[in-house]
Amino acid sequence: MVVFGNLKYIPLFLFDFTNGYQIKSAVLKNEIVIRDANNGDIEALTLLMNELGYPTTLNEMQGRFSKISDHPDYKTIIAIVNGQAVGMAGLAKGIFYEKNGNYLRVVALAVKQGSRNMGIGKALLTVAEGWAAEQGLETILINCGNREERRRAHQFYQEMGYIVKSSGFVKQV
């Protein structure tokens, strides 16, 4: 049993590599199921992208998810509580240029506002870390914006053992 804040978190790992990677966890009386996202999750993924601060339409998410789900180096996992999608993580495998080896990049991690602080983000990240290990990836990188509303996310990642390593830059071309 892991205590996360004032919640008791009991991880129960179930792996089914023929149908995707799953983890079932209990947070108090709520069961969190983490599974691979599928086309039936487009609406939930759209809402989560919007909550993360990235305006996205249903049609845009359908187009993105179609490309992402067809790519062998990408994986999208979704958290379900009481039959409702409450979180997601977008994962991408990569190859280092600067050293030997491969890594996992957490490109997106979102938990619905009303479902935060229940262990859902921790469950998503735990599954991502497990998948990285299964894939032989030795490092995990996380993208997280520098906006004020991301301050709590930065604290969460540090509590999960991640360190601030670098800054990113972006330019539209």
The strand pair at 20-27 and 30-36 is best described as antiparallel
Average pLDDT over residues 103-111: 95
Mean pLDDT of the chain, nearest integer: 83
User: Is it the case that residue 157 has pLDDT exceeding 90?
Assistant: no
- Per cent of the chain over pLDDT 90 is 55
Of 14 and 70, the one with more pLDDT? 70
In this prediction, residue 79 carries a pLDDT of 95
Distance (Å) of CA 122 to CA 81, 99, 143, 149: 14, 29, 16, 19
What CATH fold (topology level) applies to the domain 32-159?
Answer: Aminopeptidase (3.40.630)
How buried is 75 (Cβ within 10 angstroms: 0-12 exposed, 13-18 middle, 19+ buried)?
Answer: buried
Distance separating alpha carbons of residues 148 and 54, to the nearest angstrom: 15
Q: What is the mean pLDDT of residues 65-78?
A: 97
User: How far, in Å, CA of 148 to CA of 78, rounded?
Assistant: 25
* Greatest mean pLDDT range, 18-27, 69-78, 162-171: 69-78
- The predicted pLDDT at position 30 comes to 65
Mean pLDDT of 114-141: 92
Q: For position 17, what pLDDT does the model report? A: 37
Q: Residue 4 has which token pair?
A: 């996360």
**For the whole prediction, is pTM greater than 0.75?**
yes
